Chain A
Amino acid sequence: MSAVLDHHDHAHDDHHGHAPTGWRRWVYATNHKDIGTMYLLFSFTMLIVGGALAMLIRAELFQPGLQFVNPELFNQLTTMHGLIMVFGAIMPGFVGFANWMVPLQIGAADMAFARMNNFSFWLLIPAGLMLAGSFFMPGGAPAAGWTLYAPLTLQMGPSMDMGIFALHILGASSIMGSINIIVTILNMRAPGMTLMKMPMFAWTWLITAYLLIAVMPVLAGAITMTLTDRHFGTSFFNPAGGGDPVMYQHIFWFFGHPEVYIMILPAFGIVSQIVPAFSRKKLFGYASMVYATSSIAILSFIVWAHHMFTTGMPVTGQLFFMYATMLIAVPTAVKIFNWIATMWQGSMTFETPMLFAVGFIFVFTMGGFTGLILAMAPIDIQLQDTYYVVAHFHYVLVAGSLYAMFAGYYYWVPKWTGVMYNETRGKIHFWWSLIAFNVTFFPMHFLGLAGMPRRYADYPMQFADFNVVASLGGFAFGLAQVYFFFFIVLPTMMGKGEKAPQNPWEGAEGLEWEIPSPAPFHTFETPPKLNAAATKVLG
């Protein structure tokens, strides 16, 4: 324990003994736990903002005809919902988890570049404000879809420039965050914490960070070229000047498809921590999990054009991207097999983190299967830009990424706050979210198969019934998250609840459970001595 809680006897270290207070603690924060907390709060705020836009979308689609918004505003709502959720909620959310947990899991004192970590976070605030504030620009917010396709982006008002600037800032923040995570994991692991002994969450984040470094600059390049097309006379994507809008799609999806895995690999990591803990078994096939994660990451670079089957491409191209996409099912299936094998004959209990993890496996697998269906070029050509696609990616990103974040929250919040969440409320949150989620998105499969296109404010009468169901489910899902905030998050933040022991979970292993709850302000400043499995601190 002495290596965990450092007792400084040097005069110049006296300031380390206690946590700083006041606004300086947060504005000048260099502590990974404080920055992680800020990331998570920012992410939840953006989740609520993006969720409010989703509520407006579902209100408009509650019945045919135009009720609340005009079609122009509807396009802005769908665009900003996507951008805010992807870049404002999910990505920063997982970076928050990484900030909190990666140093604790590998026995490092903090992130490698503490001040850059602060800068990475504080860049998010102006970017988030610019994204949300773009609604108040002349002509309204960007309305080209979250993919920002040319030529729409070349025709839009000044808010597009603000959106591009916001994405540049968010990209810079992500790249700095990734560099920090990679350097921390590669250079600062405690002695004995070899790469193949690292917890899966740290592994998945290491791979995710490499993906981010490779693809965020590509997005930055694409939107910079959009910017120069708009203002500086170039014609990269403008057909009038000899450019090619389809080229934008190629570049965007070279970023966009790995981005999908950026949003799901850390979720795999969280689930890989929780399933063994509540099955009271070691993770089945640890090495294969690592290799499967790496394979998914590598394959994610060669499948981008499955988003573009309808743009027209040679049959050989369609076949390549179709089969390459289907190949991703193999490592993904390895992971799902391993989670199920971990649970097999385990002494399982179903506390809220495990409920969300099992819910994740079940519902994410459904989203994976619809992904396989969409990977087939002949089917995709029929279903392109229908609600089937909307259902698919919400099954992957909401039931996937968001559920994993909920699971991670319930699993680690005792360590963060020092108090236990209310188990009954957690279970209510889970069942409420699971049912409402499926009521919202399952009918969208039928809408898509029947041919309802996405990104339209209106629809024919034939789609009315399923849209009513989806909207009611959507409102219920939104309300579940309000319940989560007021009845679960706030009480734990205010320290209300049963005091959490050092390790509240019987089967949980790892260095984060070797420190008291709540985690002290400074941990592992002296590299800890670890046992052979690198799961316990010796001495």
Chain B
Amino acid sequence: MPQPPRCWAETPWTNHMTPEQKKANLRTGLILASIALAFLLGFMAKMLMMGK
């Protein structure tokens, strides 16, 4: 029998999502995060390596 949580906050509703749903969410999230990272590093790399 699963142990009851010590605190409700330890089990957000996402813990009840299916593993497939979690995986899909993580994949989409990582793709979006990589876009943000590319914009951050891309702008600075352009300025650093190619001047203006």
Q: Which residue of B lies closest to A174 (CB)?
A: B36
Is A522 located at the chain interface by the 8 A CB criterion?
yes
Residues of B within 8 A of A186 (CB): 28
Shortest beta-carbon distance from A11 to chain B in Å: 7
Asked if A112 and B4 sit within 8 Å, CB to CB, the answer is no
Number of residues in A with C-beta < 8 Å to the partner? 44
Nearest residue, chain B, Cβ from A228: B44
Please tell me if B49 contacts chain A, counting CB pairs below 8 Å: no
B interface residues, how many (CB within 8 angstroms) = 29
Asked whether A385 is an interface residue with its Cβ less than 8 Å from the other chain, the reply is no
Q: Which of B9, B11, B40 has a CB less than 8 Å from the CB of A221?
A: B40
**B interface, by DSSP: helix, strand, loop or mixed?**
helix
Q: Complex: how many Å from CA A112 to CA B8?
A: 18
CA distance A182 to B28 in the complex (A): 9
Q: Which residues of A contact B28 (CB under 8 A)?
A: 112, 182-183, 186-187
A11, A188, A213: the one within 8 Å of B35 (CB)? A213
Which residues of chain A are within 8 angstroms of B35 by Cβ–Cβ distance? 213-214
**Known A15-B8, A525-B16: A251·B25 in contact at CB below 8 Å:** no
Known contacts A183-B29, A221-B44, A236-B47; is A525 also within 8 Å of B7 by CB?
no
Considering the complex, which residues of chain A in the window 1-38 have a beta carbon less than 8 Å from any beta carbon of chain B? 11-16, 20, 24, 28-31
Name the residue on B nearest A182 (C-beta). B32
Chain B residues in 8 Å Cβ range of A214: 35-36, 39
Closest CB in chain A relative to B12 CB, distance in Å: 4
Q: Find chain B residues with CB under 8 A from A183 CB.
A: 25, 28-29, 32
User: Quick one: closest A residue to B33, CB to CB?
Assistant: A179
CB interface residues, B 21-52, toward A, < 8 Å: 21, 24-25, 28-29, 32-33, 35-37, 39-41, 43-44, 47, 52
- Chain B residues within 8 Å of A12, by CB: 2, 4
Bound together, the chains give a CA A179 to CA B25 distance in angstroms of 10
Query: Whole-angstrom distance between the alpha carbons of A377 and B43 in the complex?
Result: 27
The answer on a CB contact under 8 Å between A187 and B21 is yes
Residue of B14, B43, B52 near A217 (CB, 8 A) is: B43
Q: Which of A204-237 contact B (CB under 8 A)?
A: 213-218, 220-222, 224-225, 236
- How far is the CB of B27 from the nearest CB of chain A, in Å? 9
Confirm or deny: A109 has a beta carbon within 8 angstroms of a beta carbon on chain B. Answer: yes
Q: Is the CB of B12 within 8 A of A115?
A: yes
Q: B residues within 8 A CB of A175?
A: 33, 36
Q: Name B residues whose Cβ lies closer than 8 Å to a Cβ of A.
A: 1-2, 4-5, 7-9, 11-14, 16, 21, 24-25, 28-29, 32-33, 35-37, 39-41, 43-44, 47, 52
Residues of A within 8 A of B (CB): 11-16, 20, 24, 28-31, 109-110, 112-115, 175, 178-180, 182-183, 186-188, 213-218, 220-222, 224-225, 236, 244, 247, 251, 522, 525
